[in-house]
């Protein structure tokens, strides 16, 4: 029995040992370094968290792995969590565990699974690093600069803190490297959108798009995988100097497809076409003669453009800004951005032009000029400008009157424009008489000579026909000689009245500056001409001598006596 018992006991013990050894082996395989197991928090202190994983001893985890941003320990007694076995027994015989490494291992396994399935993973951009960005996907990953976006990006700071979907491009687990791509995700999305867009893209279709880029000539709008050009002329019915005045990058805008070329995948877009052309009924909204208000959009040398509504502008020409004829720069009258009032003067809807006026809102000084300065009245003003044909005198604010050179003097003739410069200076106070007012053409005629009586009115009395006059030779012309018989009054001795032989030199016979006598032949007051004759005076003198002779012939004196008398006097 003992033998049997012994054998039985020995056999049973051997079987038990085998089973026990097998159990230990299985447990040892479950608890080996690098394996992730479940455990329960059984102790907490400031340095370590104690976790029971069912091993022969409890394991410890550094308390720092449970700290939040403020340094508070988040571990709780009884909490069940996954832990990573670092070492079954360190130098002190302790089981070393890690919560962070367990999480990292789980993430690595998840990332590897995503990589195999060609899927995507979410991550947060943490910071800039050399060559790109660092992304937190549970473990650090690298996002190269070339994989950040479809287009090259210079400002990487704007991505920090943002969450995106990424594709895993490469994994090197032994080196701990993960390379991501956001560009691949965007390209895939773009292709999906592109397919959807192509199904509906056609001329006349209204779509929504996102402004991707702005240039001087327009903006490129992403319709969903396909870009279209929105030209600056098709953004608004109004006038803009740059597309950025109406659009900004990233803005979602409604557009209509104006033209689509499938073979070249070229799309032309429009925004203003979504609204009616404002010029179609412009006459109804802005009838001629009506008062309008608008914003000064542009100021030029020749006027200012006023925006009456989006797409409708009118021009206020500089001549319609003030009643004054004095040229003023429009920038001194209106400023860009200013709200002003004007009057509609004319509309050309076909040419899309509206003429506006500002001065029409003010009283016309020409309408009141006749009342203030009737014809014949005297006015005084300063010389504003001097020309070859006269001078302009400022009469009222904005009104200048012209004194023509012919109205300077009754008698003096201006032969050289330089004489005017010697007679008047800019700024001189000059008195004149109002001769004529033409309000329609805005012309005011003045005269200076009219301040005194016209000497030609009495000239015929002072110089009757047949009277003898003396004068200085002032000039010689092809048709005669001019003689000044008094200050400012000249008479003409025609060549036929010079009394010289044919072919004789006129200049030699009548040197300029000599004083000669002549006879008044005619006085034309209207034409202001005096005709003189040297020839007629000679004839008259001869007749008087003959008459005197005939009178002497009737006396007792003999012919011999008369001859001796003449010889004695030197006459031949």
Helices and strands, counts by H and E, the chain: 10, 30
Q: What is the pLDDT of residue 6?
A: 42
Helix residue ranges per DSSP H, 161-303:
183-200, 282-285
Could you write out the DSSP letters of every residue in 276-291?
A: --TTTTHHHHS-TT-E
Q: What is the pLDDT of residue 392?
A: 92
Q: Single out the residue of 201, 67, 156, 173 nearest to residue 111, CA to CA.
A: 173
Instruction: Report the CATH number at residue 415.
Output: 2.40.50.140
- In a domain, residue 547? The reply is no
Q: What is the pLDDT of residue 341?
A: 95
3-state DSSP helix/strand/coil percent for the chain, to nearest 5? 30, 35, 35
Q: How far is CA 2 from the centre of its chain?
A: 120
- Quickly state the pLDDT bin for 169 (edges 50, 70, 90): very high
CA atoms within 13 A on the CB side of 337: 0
First-to-last C-alpha distance (Å) of the chain: 214
- In a domain, residue 5? The reply is no
Q: What is the pLDDT of residue 9?
A: 43
Residue-number span of the structural domain to which 260 is assigned: 201-274
Could you write out the DSSP letters of every residue in 417-459?
A: THHHHHH--TT-EEEEEEEEEETTTTEEEEESGGGS--THHHH
- In a domain, residue 147? The reply is yes
- Quickly state the pLDDT bin for 1 (edges 50, 70, 90): very low
pLDDT at 286 over 90: yes
Residues pairing with 309 in the sheet: 312
Residues 329 and 261 in one domain: no
pLDDT at 318 over 70: yes
Residues 293 and 353 in one domain: yes
pLDDT at 446 over 80: yes
pLDDT at 276 over 50: yes
To which H or E segment does residue 562 belong?
A: helix 559-569
Residues 298 and 257 in one domain: no
Annotate 24-92 with three-state secondary structure: HHHHHHHCCCCCEEEEEEEEECCCEEEEECCCCCCEEEEHHHHECCCCCECCCCCCEEEEEEEECCCCC
Residues 223 and 179 in one domain: no
Q: Give the CA distances from residue 252 to residues 207, 227, 244, 248, 381, in Å, rounded to whole numbers and listed in that order.
A: 10, 13, 14, 9, 65
- Is residue 420 within 8 A of residue 388, CB to CB? The reply is yes
pLDDT at 108 over 80: yes
- In a domain, residue 556? The reply is no
Q: Give the CA distances from residue 489 to residues 423, 453, 486, 547, in Å, rounded to whole numbers and listed in that order.
A: 19, 15, 5, 34
Q: How many domains does the chain have?
A: 6
What value does the mean pLDDT take over residues 393-399?
A: 81
pLDDT at 159 over 70: yes
pLDDT at 2 over 50: no
Average pLDDT, the chain: 84
- In a domain, residue 244? The reply is yes
Identify the domain boundary among 274, 309, 331. 274
- Alpha-carbon gap, residue 365 to 400, rounded angstroms: 11
**Is the model more confident about 1 or about 300?**
300
Helix (H, G, I), strand (E, B) or coil at 519: strand
Q: Give the CA distances from residue 29 to residues 81, 287, 409, 481, in Å, rounded to whole numbers and listed in that order.
A: 20, 97, 133, 145
Q: Kindly report whether the global pTM for this prediction surpasses the value 0.75.
A: no
158-194 as b/e, with b when 16 or more CB fall inside 10 Å? ebeeeebbbbbbebeeeeeebbbbbbbbbeeebeeeb
Q: What is the pLDDT of residue 3?
A: 40
Residues 212 and 150 in one domain: no
Identify the domain boundary among 451, 482, 507. 451
Q: What is the pLDDT of residue 127?
A: 93
- Quickly state the pLDDT bin for 464 (edges 50, 70, 90): confident
Helix (H, G, I), strand (E, B) or coil at 537: helix
- In a domain, residue 572? The reply is no
pLDDT at 572 over 50: no
Q: What is the pLDDT of residue 555?
A: 57
pLDDT at 429 over 70: yes
What value does the mean pLDDT take over residues 377-391?
A: 90
R_g (Cα) of the chain, nearest Å? 58
- In a domain, residue 14? The reply is no
Biggest CA–CA distance in the chain, Å, is: 231
- Alpha-carbon gap, residue 392 to 401, rounded angstroms: 5
- Alpha-carbon gap, residue 54 to 166, rounded angstroms: 39
pLDDT at 553 over 80: no
Reading phi first (left if > 0) and then psi (alpha if -120 to 50, else beta), residue 474 is in alpha
pLDDT at 520 over 70: yes
Give residues with Cβ within 8 angstroms of 159, minimum separation 6: 125, 133, 148, 153
What value does the mean pLDDT take over residues 447-460?
A: 79
- Quickly state the pLDDT bin for 5 (edges 50, 70, 90): very low
pLDDT at 557 over 70: no
Residues 353 and 292 in one domain: yes
Window from 22-36, 196-210, 328-342, 503-517 with minimum mean pLDDT: 22-36
- Quickly state the pLDDT bin for 162 (edges 50, 70, 90): very high
- For the stretch 12-68, pLDDT in tens is 555 656 565 555 555 556 788 888 899 999 998 888 989 998 888 899 998 888 888
Q: Single out the residue of 403, 372, 364 nearest to residue 387, CA to CA.
A: 403
- For the stretch 57-106, pLDDT in tens is 899 998 888 888 787 888 889 989 888 888 888 888 888 998 888 888 88
Window from 332-341, 404-413, 476-485 with minimum mean pLDDT: 404-413
- For the stretch 245-255, pLDDT in tens is 999 999 999 99
- Quickly state the pLDDT bin for 460 (edges 50, 70, 90): confident
- In a domain, residue 99? The reply is yes
Could you write out the DSSP letters of every residue in 145-180?
A: GGGS-SS--S--GGGTT-EEEEEEEEEETTTTEEEE
Annotate 371-398 with three-state secondary structure: HHCCCCCEEEEEEEEEECCEEEEEEECC
pLDDT at 179 over 90: yes
- For the stretch 485-505, pLDDT in tens is 887 788 899 988 888 888 788
How deeply is 157 buried, as exposed, middle or buried, from its count of CB atoms within 10 A (0-12, 13-18, 19+)? Answer: exposed
Residues 372 and 298 in one domain: no
Give residues with Cβ within 8 angstroms of 48, minimum separation 6: 60, 61, 62, 63
Q: What is the pLDDT of residue 543?
A: 76
Residues 447 and 503 in one domain: no
Q: What is the pLDDT of residue 296?
A: 94
CA atoms within 13 A on the CB side of 403: 30
Window from 192-196, 349-353, 384-388 with minimum mean pLDDT: 192-196
Q: Single out the residue of 210, 310, 212, 195 nearest to residue 255, CA to CA.
A: 210
- Alpha-carbon gap, residue 515 to 483, rounded angstroms: 8
Helix (H, G, I), strand (E, B) or coil at 241: coil
Residues 113 and 130 in one domain: no
What value does the mean pLDDT take over residues 390-412?
A: 85
Residues 237 and 267 in one domain: yes
Residues 270 and 304 in one domain: no
Identify the domain boundary among 117, 145, 169. 117
What value does the mean pLDDT take over residues 301-310?
A: 91
């Amino acid at each position: 029995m003992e033998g049997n018992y012994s054998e039985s006991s020995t056999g049973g013990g051997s079987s038990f040992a085998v089973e026990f050894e097998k159990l230990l082996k299985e447990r040892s395989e479950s608890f080996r370094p690098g394996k992730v197991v479940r455990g329960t928090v059984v102790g907490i202190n400031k340095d370590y968290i104690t976790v029971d994983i069912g091993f022969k001893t409890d394991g410890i985890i550094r308390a720092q792995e449970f700290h939040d941003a403020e340094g508070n320990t988040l571990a709780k007694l009884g909490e069940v969590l996954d832990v990573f076995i670092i070492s079954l027994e360190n130098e002190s015989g302790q089981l070393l565990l890690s919560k962070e490494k367990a999480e990292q291992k789980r993430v690595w396994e998840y990332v590897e699974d995503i990589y195999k399935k060609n899927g995507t993973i979410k991550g947060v951009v943490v910071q800039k690093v050399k060559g790109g960005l660092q992304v937190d996907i549970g473990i650090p990953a690298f996002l190269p600069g070339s994989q950040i976006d479809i287009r090259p990006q210079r400002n990487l700071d704007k991505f920090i803190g943002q969450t995106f979907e990424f594709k895993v491009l490469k994994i090197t687990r032994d080196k701990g490297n993960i390379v991501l791509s956001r560009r691949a995700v965007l390209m895939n999305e773009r292709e999906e959108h592109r397919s959807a867009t192509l199904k509906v893209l056609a001329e006349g279709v209204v779509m929504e798009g996102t402004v991707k880029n702005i240039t001087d000539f327009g903006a490129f709008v992403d319709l969903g995988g396909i870009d279209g050009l929105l030209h600056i002329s098709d953004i608004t019915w109004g006038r803009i100097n740059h597309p950025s005045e109406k659009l900004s990058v990233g803005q979602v805008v409604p557009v209509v497809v104006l033209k689509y070329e499938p073979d070249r995948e070229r799309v032309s877009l429009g925004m203003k076409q979504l609204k009616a052309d404002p010029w179609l009924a412009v006459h109804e909204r802005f009838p001629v003669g009506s008062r309008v208000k608008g914003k000064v959009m542009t100021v030029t040398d020749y006027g200012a453009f006023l925006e009456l509504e989006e797409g409708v502008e009118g021009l206020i020409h500089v001549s319609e800004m003030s009643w004054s004829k004095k040229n003023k720069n429009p920038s001194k009258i209106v400023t860009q951005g200013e709200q002003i009032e004007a009057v509609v003067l004319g509309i050309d809807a076909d040419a899309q032009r509206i003429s506006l006026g500002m001065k029409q809102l003010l009283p016309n000084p020409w309408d009141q000029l006749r009342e203030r300065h009737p014809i014949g009245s005297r006015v005084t003003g300063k010389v504003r400008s001097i020309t070859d044909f006269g001078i302009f005198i400022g009469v009222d604010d904005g009104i200048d009157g012209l004194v023509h050179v012919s109205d300077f003097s009754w008698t003096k003739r201006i032969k050289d424009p330089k004489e005017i410069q010697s007679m008047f200076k800019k700024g001189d106070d000059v008195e004149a008489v109002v001769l004529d007012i033409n309000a329609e053409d805005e012309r005011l005629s003045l005269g200076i000579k009219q301040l005194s009586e016209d000497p030609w009115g009495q000239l015929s009395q002072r110089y009757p026909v047949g009277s003898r006059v003396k004068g200085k030779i002032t000039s010689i012309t092809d048709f005669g000689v001019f003689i000044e018989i008094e200050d400012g009054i000249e008479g003409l001795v025609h060549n036929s009245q010079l009394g010289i032989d044919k072919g004789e030199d006129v200049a030699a016979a009548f040197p300029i500056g000599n004083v000669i006598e002549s006879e008044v032949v005619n006085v034309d007051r209207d034409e202001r001409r005096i005709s003189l004759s040297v020839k007629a005076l000679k004839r008259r003198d001869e007749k008087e001598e003959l008459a005197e002779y005939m009178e002497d012939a009737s006396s007792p004196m003999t012919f011999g006596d008369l001859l001796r008398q003449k010889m004695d006097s030197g006459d031949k």
